[in-house]
Structure 1
Amino acid sequence: MKEKRSHKFIVYQMMFHLWGSTNTDLAFNGSCQRNGVTKFIDVSLNALKALAKKGFTHIYATGIIEHATMEDFSAYGSPLDHPSIVKGRAGSPFAIKDYYDVNPFLATDPAKRMEEFEEMLERIHACGLYLILDFVPNHLARQYHSDKKPKGIIDFGVNDQTDKSFDPNNNFYYLPGTQFSVPDGLDIPIPYSIPYIEIPAKVSGNNVFSAQPSKDDWFETVKLNYGIDFQHGEKTYFDPIPDTWLKLLDVLTYWTNKGIDSFRCDMAEMVPVEFWAYVIPKIKAINPQVTFIAEIYQPYRYQDYIYRGGFDYLYDKVGLYDALRRLMEEKPEATVEDITRVWQHESGEFSEHMLRFLENHDETRINSPGFAQHNLWSTIPAMVITACLHHGPIMTYMGQEFGEMANEVEGFNLAQDRTTMFDFWRIETHQRWMNQGQFDGAQLTKEEKQLDDFYVNLFQFVHTHPAIQEGHFFDLQYAQNEHYPKRKVYSFLRYTSKEKLLIVCNFDSQQYYSLDIQLPALAKEMMKVSQFKLKLIQAFVPPAVNEHIQQADEAMLPPNSAYVFMIS
């Protein structure tokens, strides 16, 4: 049994099929053979040691479980998917077509794909790292079929009564008397002559009760039925336990027994909290150290999914991420008071349960025109707050640490601000960091190395300071005088009985600010200090600032910077 982990772990998200790609000669809508794809063997001991050295503790590998794809692996037991219901040549990582298998294209020998995955998992654990796997409970691929399911497992939908729009023991929702129609306006790279037939049409994954969803809907997926009758006032039928619950408990048990350390639960809020309250304790009975992370965007539901549902961590997107992004973009309405509101009204009482980030596969890259490309170093104050505000976990997305722009048009993905999930491609900065298997960043530009150094130094700081790992938090904004720049500078304390830190962050991209931080009587009382001194122990500053000052000026906080003082 592994020892209990700190809440303050550091997650590295990899879009798995892109992670190991070294090809630079890429074709629009290219196949995995043409453009290249990660193999499990690419996640080598050298690669894992390099990630651990950077300070990462957990790997969130997106796109491991087998999903619908336009690639043909029927020779290896994986049925061919109809291209009209697949997004991109690679397909969506969240359109699962076999919960008990991994993607064949990730294996050097597709016939031995599960063995290769298990060997990779052993390497991850050998390096002291943990693996987070996607669990997609809300929807499945339209052509779900498991060729690797254990004996006794029955596929989703096999026993459904398809003449009923809803039945508590159906796995899917149906539209009797209809036939599914492929959305208009799709540009499918693989020609097909045989139409896709689905009679009756199933309800699409984003709760679209239409036989012809739009191309912007989750048309490639079908909604799973947890015993909620959406067409009749969302009446629930949870007793007896619905068949879908039992099937998904089997799935989670299967992967837990393989040694998975954590599950990132896709769109967890679209699944009833009662299911999580049922299934999470059963998995933790198998391995108490397994953790559950919920993708959730409605703050009023946070408390329910933590205390009733049993989740260990929730995405803090509609909260800290949104507040920091406004500040990084220097929106006219942006103010650091938004940060105070986040911890007060959304996550203050359960801050250790919030997983915080500035990038993931759904959000635009920081270094893109629509975000902060004009001011990349706004990353410094924002990431320091993301990492240090409370003692929950933090996450970064592969390439974020180098300022990846994601400005290429790959195929299905046409947005020049996000890394594609749907295409066989590459991540350009990450390729140069890999440096043909050296994992030393030798091909990175000077600025990319400087940004990477900031992340490494920040993670080292997080790992080595108990006040950040497990200390109390105190917001100082309310106690500052009229000269304090309350819209641009955010100050807070993190402290234990043995270590007390003052952290000050400046979001202004131009202005230096004089530091005259007031510690109120309540903060001194809580920290048990009266007379004290401040010593600057860490200065996170942009390279342009570093080039002009040999030693940080403790009295002036530079633009886009963060200072950490020890209180003694």
Structure 2
Amino acid sequence: MVKRIIYQMLPRYFGNVNGNCRPSGSLDENGCGKFSDITPAILERLRDELKITDIWYTGVLDHATTVSFPGKPSSSVAVVKGRAGSPYAVRDYFDIAPYLADNPEQRFEEFKELVKRTHEAGLKAIIDFVPNHVAREYASSYAAKERNLGADDDPSLGENDLNDFIYLPGEHLHLPECVPGYDDYHEYPAKVTGNNCYSAYPSVNDWYDTVKLNYGSRHTGTWDKMAEIISFWAAAGIDGFRCDMVEMVPVAFFAWLIPKVKTEAGRDISFIAEVYGMSRYKEYSDAGFDLLYDKSGLYDTLRGICTSVMPASGITRNWQMLGELQPKMLNFLENHDEQRIASGFFCGDARKSYAALYVSLMFNDAAFMIYSGQEYGERGMDEEGFSGRDGRSTIYDFWSVGSLRRALTGQSTGEENAVYEKYVSLLASLAASKALSHGKTFDLCYANYGNPGFDPGRHFAFLKYCPGELKLVAANFSGLDTEMAIRIPAHAFEYFSIPETPGLNSKTPVCIKTGAWDGAISDLI
């Protein structure tokens, strides 16, 4: 069984090789990536070298933007974040962002060609589903069976099951005064803002470019309209949906939607939940989600260890809390919401995350996600525009990401090549080993407390087993090269139903060398 490896790609910047971008520059000045930049050769390289199984095409739906196209006027500047706009302020759920196409009037056809290329490479195509909110100026020209969101609303009712949006009757919307054009934008009555801001005065830190959808207290028209959107894209060949901020939408909606879509599609359609409350993981798993973000679990734990604010033994605690949900997790070290590993806000050097990579990739049976540029050690330290220099690659501006640009033009630095080769090597090891990809796991940390050859504060080790194959994986979160002497308890042999031997037993520690911030794999059987 192949381990699922998802590659998150923002086409807006993936293919943009303009090395002279201007902060807050326009589309004409800075350019942007196109669907056509994602060639068969690129898809095959992702498949063959990084062992990618799925590509999450982020930001392809038509969203609020300052750029106008024939039949698609620009959005009001006051409700657009940055020049390009947030991909999560969707203004037409049945359309594609025009700027991603070589011919904007053929954008849907060009996107379908990309999906076709993806499938021809043996990969699956995932897009975003943003169920909680839409752009403030949402309007769709698609002749949907269901009426447009909000078309039949009665704003005087405020929060009512008959409405798709939630209104603040009698109040005008007042956008933050620091927002360009704030006093030229009029909304009456004001709608509740996307992040549950029930105020007519959203702040600059609120999702002021969006409005919240109303799912009501029972099955409402909003449910049917959102289901039609998912069915539309499934019919267009999409294989999965990364569902944004699911905790802001009733679980009952997903429990109804997911089996409905899978049954109607007659094929495998996957649903990935962006969920943060660990106490709610089981709830969303039971609702039918195939994968759940483990941001608040393993990601936060590994980040804390890498930045020396948590001991490596914290991995054990997170693993125990997940229990039987392990295979439902989506592990990652980066995504568009989080700071780049190599940024000055995190590790400062991608190589300092190698130990975390071994754990996130191999410790459990969870799927793993790579954010484009991560495989080259992208630093995310440009000051692109809307959000400034924050250690992230902008999702609001037209920009070119340095490490990706250099990789696409054959100009990667020695350090970028080294990081890439590390990813290629580890993913190849994973793909070649049933034990590493889907074997049973045995955590060795508890058996090595008090062991002078093992520091549970900075070291972590585990076994991976399948019949005929036993691997020892060690992760060194310290800044020193080390040789660990790892005890394997008798219980591990019992758990895997393998005998102790003179060369491998519970009395003789296994020695394994690792570099600083790195990991190592040893074949024991």
TM-score band w.r.t. shorter chain? over 0.9
Contact 1:534/1:567, CA 8 A, preserved across alignment: no
- Deviation at 1:80? 2.9
2:59 counterpart of 1:63? yes
State the shift of 1:153 in Å.
3.3
Deviations 1:384-442 (A, max 9, x none): 1000011111011111111111121111120341100000011001001001xxxxxx3
Asked if the contact 2:449/2:456 (under 8 Å) is kept, the reply is no
What residue in structure 1 maps to residue 456 of structure 2?
486
Residue equivalent to 1:433: 407
* Cα 1:398/1:563, change in 2 over 3 Å: same
1:299 aligns with 2:278: yes
1:215 aligned partner, one-letter code: V
CA contact (8 A) 1:534 1:565 kept: no
SS of residue matched to 1:120: helix
Counterpart position of 1:521:
490
What is the one-letter code of the residue matched to 2:490?
A
TM-score, normalised to structure 1, is 0.88
Label 1:288 to 1:468 Cα distance change in 2 as closer, same or farther (>3 A): farther
Q: Is 1:453 aligned to residue 421 of structure 2?
A: yes
1:199-218 equivalence runs, <5 A = 199-218=188-207
Given residue 51 of structure 1, which amino acid in structure 2 is its aligned partner?
Answer: L
> Do the aligned residues in 2 keep the contact of 1:533 with 1:567 (CA within 8 Å)?
no
Deviations 1:520-567 (A, max 9, x none): 1221012122234879xxxxxxxxxxxxxxxxx955333222121222
1:161 CA drift (Å): 1.0
Structure 2 residue corresponding to 1:172, chosen from 147, 165, 177: 165
Q: Which amino acid aligns with 2:497?
A: K
Q: Secondary structure at the match of 2:127?
A: strand
Identify if the C-alpha distance between structure 1 residues 534 and 338 changes in structure 2 by more than 3 Å, giving closer, same or farther: farther
Query: Match for 1:256: what amino acid?
Result: A
SS at match of 1:181: coil
Decide which moves more: 64-73 or 404-413: 404-413
Is the 1:204–1:213 contact (alpha carbons within 8 Å) kept by the matching residues of 2? yes
CA 1:533 to 1:463, structure 2 compared with 1: closer, same or farther past 3 Å? farther
Q: Give the distance between the partners of 2:158 and 2:182, measured in 1 at CA.
A: 30
- Contact 2:485-2:511 at 8 Å conserved across structures: no
In 1: Cα distance, 2:501 partner to 2:369 partner = 34
Amino acid aligned to 2:408: M
Q: For residues 560 and 245 of structure 1, what CA distance do their matches in structure 2 show?
A: 48
Helix, strand or coil: the match of 2:485? coil
CA distance in 2 between partners of 1:18 and 1:137 (Å)? 25
State whether structure 2 residue 520 is matched by structure 1 residue 563.
Answer: yes
2:140 corresponds to which of 143, 146, 170: 146
Letter matched to residue 183 of structure 1: P
Q: Is the 8 A contact 2:353 2:518 kept in 1?
A: no
Checking the alignment, whether the CA contact within 8 Å between 1:103 and 1:113 is kept in structure 2 is yes
1:363 matches 2:338: yes
* Alignment CA distance shift 1:64-1:360 (3 Å): same
| Superposed counterparts of 1:64-143, under 5 Å | 64-73=60-69, 75=70, 77-143=71-137
**1:430-479 deviation digits (Å, cap 9, x = unpaired):** 001001xxxxxx31111111110000111111111111222111111111
Corresponding position: 1:507 with 2:481: no
Q: Distance in 2 between matches of 1:555 and 1:466?
A: 21
Q: Which amino acid in the other structure matches residue 492 of structure 2?
A: A
The Cα of 1:150 is off from its aligned counterpart by 3.3
- 1:544 corresponds to: none
Deviation at 1:289, TM superposition (A): 1.1
Q: Cα–Cα, structure 1 residues 360 and 525, in superposed 2: closer, same or farther, change >3 Å?
A: same
Deviations 1:148-175 (A, max 9, x none): x234331100001110111112100000
**Match among 350, 354, 357 for residue 376 of structure 1:** 350
Question: What displacement does 1:35 show?
Answer: 0.7
Conserved 8 A contact 1:135-1:263: yes
SS across alignment from 1:26: coil
**C-alpha separation between the residues in 2 aligned to 1:377 and 1:273?**
39
Determine whether 1:400 maps to 2:374: yes
Alignment partners' CA distance in 2, 1:418 and 1:398: 12
Quickly say closer, same or farther: Cα 1:26–1:351, change in 2 above 3 A: same
| TM-score, normalised via structure 2 length | 0.95
Instruction: Quote how far apart the aligned CAs of 1:145 are.
Output: 0.5
Kept in 1: contact 2:344–2:381 (CA 8 A)? no
Shift of 1:251: 0.4
* Partner SS state of residue 300, structure 2: helix
Match of 1:496 in 2: 466
Partner letter of residue 25 of structure 1? N
SS at match of 1:516: strand
Closer, same or farther: CA 481–123 of 1 in aligned 2, 3 Å: same
Rounded to whole Å, the distance in 2 between the matches of 1:447 and 1:454 is 11
1:150 and 1:41 map into 2 onto residues whose CA distance is 28
Amino acid at match of 1:426: S
Partner residue, 1:545: none
Instruction: Tell me if structure 2 keeps the 8 A contact 1:413–1:423.
Output: no
Provide structure 2 residue ranges, at least 5 long, that are not aligned to the other structure.
Answer: 505-509
Q: In the TM superposition, what whole-angstrom CA distance separates every residue of 1:291-313 from its partner, at most 9, and x where no partner exists? A: 10000110000001001x11010
1:486, CA displacement in angstroms?
A: 1.2
| Correspondence 1:42 to 2:16 | no
Distance in 2 separating the partners of 1:114 and 1:529: 56
Q: How far apart, in 1, do the equivalents of 2:153 and 2:73 lie?
A: 21
Q: State the partner residue of 1:316.
A: 294
Aligned residue for 1:564, secondary structure, equals strand
The residue identity in structure 2 corresponding to 1:493 is L
- Cα deviation for residue 51 of structure 1 reads 1.5
| Alignment partners' CA distance in 2, 1:66 and 1:27 | 24
Q: Report what 1:340 is aligned to.
A: 316
C-alpha separation between the residues in 1 aligned to 2:328 and 2:377?
A: 27
- CA RMSD in angstroms comes to 1.7
1:506–1:557 CA contact under 8 A, matched in 2 = yes
Aligned to 2:384: 410
Residues paired across the two proteins, number:
516
- Note if contact 2:343-2:380 (Cα within 8 Å) is conserved in structure 1: yes
Determine the structure 2 residue equivalent to 1:474: 442
CA contact (8 A) 1:13 1:59 kept: yes
31-40 or 422-431: bigger deviation: 31-40
Change in CA separation of 1:142 and 1:521 when aligned onto 2, cut-off 3 Å: same
Deviation readout 1:359-398 (Å, 9 max, x if unpaired): 110111111111111x532211100100001111101111
| Structure 2 counterpart of 1:276 | 254
1:163 alignment partner, SS class: helix
Checking the alignment, whether the CA contact within 8 Å between 2:131 and 2:226 is kept in structure 1 is yes
1:225 aligned partner: 214
Indicate the residue corresponding to 2:507 in structure 1: none
Paired AA for residue 445 in structure 1? T
Question: CA separation in 1, counterparts of 2:496 and 2:406?
Answer: 46
Cα 1:194–1:342 change in 2 (3 A) is: closer
Does the C-alpha gap of structure 1 residues 452 and 193 become closer, same or farther in structure 2, counting only changes over 3 Å?
closer
Distance 1:14 1:217 in 2: 25
User: Counterpart of 1:517 in structure 2: which amino acid?
Assistant: I
Q: Residue 126 of structure 1: CA displacement?
A: 0.5
